[in-house]
């Protein structure tokens, strides 16, 4: 049995929870919406406030010590991010979040490289931020007389990508495939390494790691992708922080999409893509969030999330009328990444979400940012409630959710 499969009993998770002021300030609140945004630990909140209270200065523009220190701290955050995903600092671009990172891939790479008739493979059941940048690029290029084709692939009922769709959709004109690492509604590991083998080395992979960055170890050497995007606010850092990692082979394939003032060295990736004053406290908060995660250990976080997902499934699976979305609830797989979505025969998800809110239980309903309209290629997915967990959640909270759900649908 690999070490990561051994349940970890040594961590006192109540001490971890105590580091999140949200729970002290909202006694009794049950927060099951961490896939949307995580709560922030004290150490991250302190990093932001320290910057504004003590260090506030712009980066890379002035020669006084405070400003050069700020520049150095940004570069130290870049090194921390690179170490965290097993990449190099020179390949890290700070953005405002995953949406900006994913749009940057589509525009900075797509505008420069795509030719008439080229194809991009996209899954329409992925998050809109992973899908729409490609639809937008298609429309932009069409205005200039270029036609690119978006080739869709699906997700099967167990929650993974339909690999046969990917095999069948590939063609000599396929230039890039857009994937997510863990799905934001179905919560599954989307088999990126297998897909790399299927598409071969020449097709670029843009990977959206928004739902895996705080749930599992990311190792760029193993993933073999070309672009990696994620948001800081889903990994305990501040809103407005995000990362785009660009593989060395793509470094010279990009064009500037928001030219302006900057502080980075000429001819660097950062000079090309990071113009304008960065969101400095948000960038610094990334380093604190990484320190927080590394102190706990990603392996331990992963094990804890597997345990919590399993507990959630066990507690709710026999509630009368429950239907699980594709993913952990249907696949019978051993590992879950903290996301479980479901609906009920006898009650609408929006009514249930309101009723749960009245009980101080926060979880997500609605369209989950999936593309719904048919002209955008979306399907008619049922509406699900999504419970998304993080390390500050407890077994007691899960039991309470199950009890309240039984009462509401009973
Ligand atoms: C898979 C996925 N990609 C992209 C995003 C967009 O992230 P942001 O709104 O932080 O840019 C989200 C947010 O929920 C997501 O779950």
**pLDDT value for 302:** 96
pLDDT digits (tens, 9 = 90+) for 44-62: 999 999 999 999 999 887 8
Q: How far apart are the first and last CA of the chain?
A: 41
CATH architecture of 3-41+297-409: Alpha-Beta Complex (3.90)
Predicted confidence band of residue 334 (pLDDT cuts 50, 70, 90): confident
Task: Write down the domain spans for the chain.
Answer: 3-41+297-409, 49-292
Q: What ligand 1 atom has the least distance to the C-alpha of 233? A: 10
Residue 286: what are its φ and ψ, rounded to 5°?
-60, -40
- More confident: 5 or 204: 204
Are β-strands 339-344 and 149-153 bridged in parallel, bridged antiparallel, or unpaired?
unpaired
Tokens of residue 205, six digits:
């992979």
Q: Is residue 209's pLDDT more than 80?
A: yes
Q: Is residue 367's pLDDT more than 80?
A: no
Distance 406 CA to ligand 1 centre (A): 31
**pLDDT value for 3:** 43
Residue whose CB lies within 8 A of the most ligand 1 atoms, among 94, 104, 240, 369, for a mutation test: 369
Domains 3-41+297-409 and 49-292 share a fold: no
188, 160 Cβ separation under 8 angstroms: yes
The mean pLDDT value of the chain amounts to 93
Predicted confidence band of residue 381 (pLDDT cuts 50, 70, 90): low
301, 386 Cβ separation under 8 angstroms: no
**pLDDT value for 379:** 53
**Is the beta carbon of 215 within 6 A of some atom in ligand 1?**
no
Q: Is residue 263's pLDDT more than 90?
A: no
pLDDT digits (tens, 9 = 90+) for 47-105: 999 999 999 999 887 889 999 999 999 999 999 999 999 999 999 999 999 999 999 99
**pLDDT value for 175:** 98
Instruction: Name the 3-class secondary structure at 340.
Output: strand
Overall CATH class of domain 49-292: alpha beta
Cα 187 from chain centroid (whole Å): 11
**Is the beta carbon of 368 within 6 A of some atom in ligand 1?**
no
């Amino acid at each position: 049995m690999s070490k990561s499969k051994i349940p970890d009993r040594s961590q006192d998770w109540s001490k971890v929870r105590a580091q999140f002021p949200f729970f002290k300030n909202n006694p009794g609140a049950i927060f099951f919406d961490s896939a949307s945004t995580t709560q922030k630990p004290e150490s991250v909140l302190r990093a932001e406030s320290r910057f504004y209270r003590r260090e506030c200065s712009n980066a890379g523009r002035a020669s006084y010590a405070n400003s050069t220190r700020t520049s150095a701290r940004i570069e130290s955050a870049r090194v921390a991010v690179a170490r965290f995903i097993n990449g190099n600092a020179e390949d890290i671009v700070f953005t405002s979040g995953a949406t900006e990172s994913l749009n940057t891939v589509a525009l900075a790479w797509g505008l420069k490289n795509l030719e008439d008739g080229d194809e991009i493979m996209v899954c329409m059941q992925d998050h809109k931020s992973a899908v729409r940048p490609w639809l937008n690029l298609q429309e932009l290029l069409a205005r200039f007389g270029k036609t690119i084709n978006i080739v869709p692939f699906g997700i099967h009922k167990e929650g993974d990508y339909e690999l046969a769709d990917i095999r069948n959709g590939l063609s000599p004109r396929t230039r890039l495939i857009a994937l997510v690492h863990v799905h934001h509604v179905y919560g599954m590991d989307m088999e990126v390494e297998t897909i790399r083998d299927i598409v071969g080395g020449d097709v670029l992979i843009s990977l959206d790691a928004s739902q895996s960055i705080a749930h599992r170890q990311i190792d760029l050497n193993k993933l073999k992708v070309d672009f990696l995007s994620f948001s800081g606010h889903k990994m305990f850092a501040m809103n407005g922080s995000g990362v785009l990692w660009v593989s060395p082979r793509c470094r010279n394939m990009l064009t500037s999409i928001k030219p302006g003032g900057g502080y980075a060295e000429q001819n660097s990736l950062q000079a090309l893509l990071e113009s304008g004053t960065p969101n400095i406290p948000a960038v610094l908060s990334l380093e604190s969030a990484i320190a927080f995660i590394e102190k706990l250990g990603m392996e331990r976080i992963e094990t804890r999330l597997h345990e919590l997902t399993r507990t959630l499934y066990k507690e709710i699976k026999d509630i009368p009328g429950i239907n699980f979305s594709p993913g952990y609830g249907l696949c019978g797989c051993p590992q879950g990444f903290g996301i479980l979505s479901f609906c009920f025969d006898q009650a609408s998800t929006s009514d249930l979400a309101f009723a749960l809110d009245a009980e101080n239980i926060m979880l997500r309903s609605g369209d989950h940012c999936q593309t719904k309209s048919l002209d955008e290629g979306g399907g008619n997915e049922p509406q699900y409630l999504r419970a998304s967990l993080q390390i500050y959640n407890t077994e007691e909270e899960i039991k309470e959710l199950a009890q309240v759900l039984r009462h509401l649908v009973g």
